[in-house]
Amino acid sequence: MSYLTDVGTVCWFLEKELEEAIRQLHSTVGNAVTDDRHIVVGTGSTQLYHAALYALTSPGGPEPVNVVSAVPYYSSYPEETNFLCSALYKWAGDAYTFDKEGPYIELVTMPNNPDGQVRGPVVNRNDGKLIHDLAYYWPQYTPITAQADYDIMLFTFSKSMGHAGSRIGWAVVKDKNVAIKMTKYIELNSIGVSRESQHRAAKILGAVSDSSQCIGANFFQYGKSLMAERWTKFREVINRSRLFSLPKYMEEYCQFSGEDSEPHPAFAWLKCNNDIEDLEIFLRRYKIMGRGGSLFGSDPKHVRVSMLGDEETFNLFLERVSSIQDTISNSNGNGI
Amino acid sequence: MSYLTDVGTVCWFLEKELEEAIRQLHSTVGNAVTDDRHIVVGTGSTQLYHAALYALTSPGGPEPVNVVSAVPYYSSYPEETNFLCSALYKWAGDAYTFDKEGPYIELVTMPNNPDGQVRGPVVNRNDGKLIHDLAYYWPQYTPITAQADYDIMLFTFSKSMGHAGSRIGWAVVKDKNVAIKMTKYIELNSIGVSRESQHRAAKILGAVSDSSQCIGANFFQYGKSLMAERWTKFREVINRSRLFSLPKYMEEYCQFSGEDSEPHPAFAWLKCNNDIEDLEIFLRRYKIMGRGGSLFGSDPKHVRVSMLGDEETFNLFLERVSSIQDTISNSNGNGI
């Protein structure tokens, strides 16, 4: 089995079958424009993030290009951006407070990880370039309100389908030269992407596209109903006390399902409303693992918790959150 | 399917089944020590090369660490090392002429790509660290003269088995902290390695280990006989004129096959003996594609040609080399 799939396309290691399945799925779901766009496959969208940074910068600049994202941002971006100490780009933190001159790259995660909010670019200057991370822009997580049509859009098999271990991501790219340079990055970084994973992803994406025509066996509708159920249960638990709060989301019309619906994000961005200073440490005492707000450029009164664990883990999580609230309420009731 | 395989091991995304198959294969072939060594899996050995550079350097040094390799070196090393303009390391060229002070990393490719020679480190200073690229240290290419036992040894499913498209490589690493840092690189670069490819590689490596017990169905003996036949044919063609020459190799005792044998490298390092200045350009006129010597830090009178194409391609290659020799001989005979 060779490195090569089709030397005629921009992304020479992309399986034709996978490319077709990706275009078909976006067309079925209506979440992204792919006509006249280039598809670049990566070892997860993480490798494509690196590829995009490489594609949007050039050697020889006076300073590394600043990379920003609005707080709260995906916690891995700072380390992923800086760990090789590249002279091409460097992490510059929160897009809201960014005030340096010169070219910059803004990461727009939509809907956002960790807080599930739908958002757009923040800096909005002419010398900026955008990378849209649309990992969670799928009907099980959020209403599909429009076909996304940005310069570089990153998607992943992990978040769309749940197959993180396959390490398949894809970028939908407008500019041919950017797609060529992203492909070059992946060539120099790993000489392509697993063909086994590409084959398997193509089959699964194809089956999911097909399922979207079926009432009762629709993958995304099923995923959405599971997520909605979890969010309902979780909000019920949270609303029993004033200890914690969750972001509020607006209902919007989902073009995929043809009905109004609320977002049901993959993560809950939990906030504590009392004088607990570090929520991550506090929750750990109750055996609840979350990622503290500071890692997302936010404050330690926030924690990101996963809504995607298996059923047993999720139920245990609900029980433990309930037990905290009971304990604290009882303590307060007793005047302690 | 999750990101995780086994959180207890150093390389948390390595499939247990693959780790066992790798250790078993090295034990069967006798080409590398793996007892008390850590295995790190990568998206091909290219990703592991990047991981090793990251693991052997640290931020904050006064200068990037110099990376060298003896000429002729693998042509992708310079670009792979420099393309992200890292402040951690930089390509410094030929190990033979390296005279800078301070820490350095030397890449030792053994047997060497492009010229098939068996070689060791060249700089030999106390402040150096070594990465051994042993992609071709398998019985079909070269006699197995000893169990390799170096600090970092890179292997790949591509060159050992021919499955380049799976993008599976592995490193055998002595120092636990180096293995941890290499794993961290892969986490930050692609959050692990395709599990589909790992499963498939495990099955194939297992089958090859089993085949090595069988007389008549031994994968490596079969590969070696094919390579030996190709080299015999190619040398016959080359020896018909004085236009080209090939490296000479010594016979050595192969501990795997239990017999004396010559190397049969995956590439031929072809040299022209007349006044052709750029052999790559010259060969292209005869529809022979090779990679010019300059890319390997050598001179343009050399070209690397592949000995691994399919049977039809290889036979066509032999015919075309023959036809050049006939043309040139006839020209000389006619006094032109």
Tens of pLDDT along chain B (336 residues) come to: 666 665 568 999 999 999 999 999 999 999 999 999 999 999 999 999 999 999 999 999 899 999 999 999 999 999 999 999 999 999 999 999 999 999 999 999 999 999 999 999 999 999 999 999 999 999 999 999 999 999 999 999 999 999 999 999 999 999 999 999 999 999 999 999 999 999 999 999 999 999 988 777 799 999 999 999 999 999 999 999 889 999 999 999 999 999 999 999 999 999 999 889 999 999 999 999 999 999 999 999 999 999 999 999 999 999 999 999 778 766 654 443
The pLDDT of residue A334:
44
Residue type, A322: S
Range A260-279 average pLDDT: 95
Domain segments of chain B as ranges: 16-211, 219-333
Residues in chain A whose Cβ is within 8 Å of chain B:
1-3, 5, 42-44, 46-47, 50, 54, 59, 76, 79-80, 83-88, 158, 162-168, 185, 188-197, 199-200
Range A211-235 average pLDDT: 91
Asked if the Cβ–Cβ distance from B165 to A192 is below 8 Å, we say yes
Q: Which of A1, A50, A166 sits opposite B163 (nearest CB)?
A: A1
Inform me whether the pLDDT recorded for A329 exceeds 70. no
> Helix, strand or coil for residue B106?
strand
**CA angle (A126, A45, B21) in 5-degree steps:** 155
The pLDDT of residue B217:
78
Q: Give A325's pLDDT tier (boundaries 50, 70, 90).
A: confident
Bridge partners, B133 (sequence order): B109, B154
User: Residue B154: in which H helix or E strand, if any?
Assistant: strand B152-156
The pLDDT of residue A1:
61
Does the N-terminal peptide bond of residue A111 adopt cis geometry, omega within 30 degrees of 0? yes
* Cβ(B230)–Cβ(B255) below 8 Å: no
* Cβ(A140)–Cβ(A116) below 8 Å: no
Between CA A41 and CA B190 the distance in angstroms is 12
Inform me whether the pLDDT recorded for A89 exceeds 70. yes
User: Among candidates B35, B78, B20, B29, which has minimal Cα distance to B53?
Assistant: B78
The pLDDT of residue B335:
40
What number of C-beta contacts closer than 8 Å exist between A and B?
Answer: 133
Cα-based distances in Å from B77 to B49, B67, B119: 9, 9, 17
Q: How distant is the Cα of B111 from the closest Cα of chain A, in angstroms?
A: 21
Class of domain A16-211: alpha beta
The pLDDT of residue A212:
86
Position of tokens 């500071």? A294
Asked if the Cβ–Cβ distance from A189 to B46 is below 8 Å, we say yes
Range A180-206 average pLDDT: 97
Neighbour tally for B321: CB within 10 Å: 23
Q: Give A241's pLDDT tier (boundaries 50, 70, 90).
A: confident
The pLDDT > 90 percentage for chain A reads: 90
> Helix, strand or coil for residue B255?
coil
Inform me whether the pLDDT recorded for A2 exceeds 50. yes
Mutate to test the interface with B, among A89, A197, A204, A289 (most CBs of B within 10 A): A197
Q: Which of B3, B54, B85 sits opposite A59 (nearest CB)?
A: B85
* Cβ(B172)–Cβ(B34) below 8 Å: yes
CATH architecture for residues B219-333 = Alpha-Beta Complex (3.90)
The pLDDT of residue B326:
78
Mutate to test the interface with A, among B16, B86, B188, B306 (most CBs of A within 10 A): B188
Range A258-282 average pLDDT: 95
Q: What is the CATH number of domain A219-331?
A: 3.90.1150.10
The pLDDT of residue B138:
98
> Helix, strand or coil for residue B308?
coil
The pLDDT > 70 percentage for chain A reads: 95
Can you give the three-state secondary structure of chain A, one letter per residue? CCCCCCCCCCCCCCCHHHHHHHHHHHHHHCCECCCCCEEEEEEHHHHHHHHHHHHCCCCCCCCCEEEEECCCCCCCHHHHHHCCCECCEEEEEECCCCCCCCCEEEEEECCCCCCCCCCCCCCCCCCEEEEEECCCCCCCCCCCCCCECCCEEEEEHHHHHCCHHHCEEEEEECCHHHHHHHHHHHHHHHCCCCHHHHHHHHHHHHHHHHHCCCCCCCHHHHHHHHHHHHHHHHHHHHHCCCCEECCCCCCEEECCCCEEECCCCCEEEEEECCCCCCHHHHHHCCCCCCEEHHHHCCCCCEEEEECCCCHHHHHHHHHHHHHHHHHHHHHHHCCC
User: Residue B200: in which H helix or E strand, if any?
Assistant: helix B195-211
Phi–psi pair at A269, nearest 5 degrees: -105, 90
Q: Which of B44, B190, B197 sits opposite A196 (nearest CB)?
A: B197
Q: How distant is the Cα of B176 from the closest Cα of chain A, in angstroms?
A: 20
Between CA A198 and CA A168 the distance in angstroms is 7
User: Among candidates B52, B115, B73, B84, which has minimal Cα distance to B296?
Assistant: B73
Q: How distant is the Cα of B282 from the closest Cα of chain A, in angstroms?
A: 24
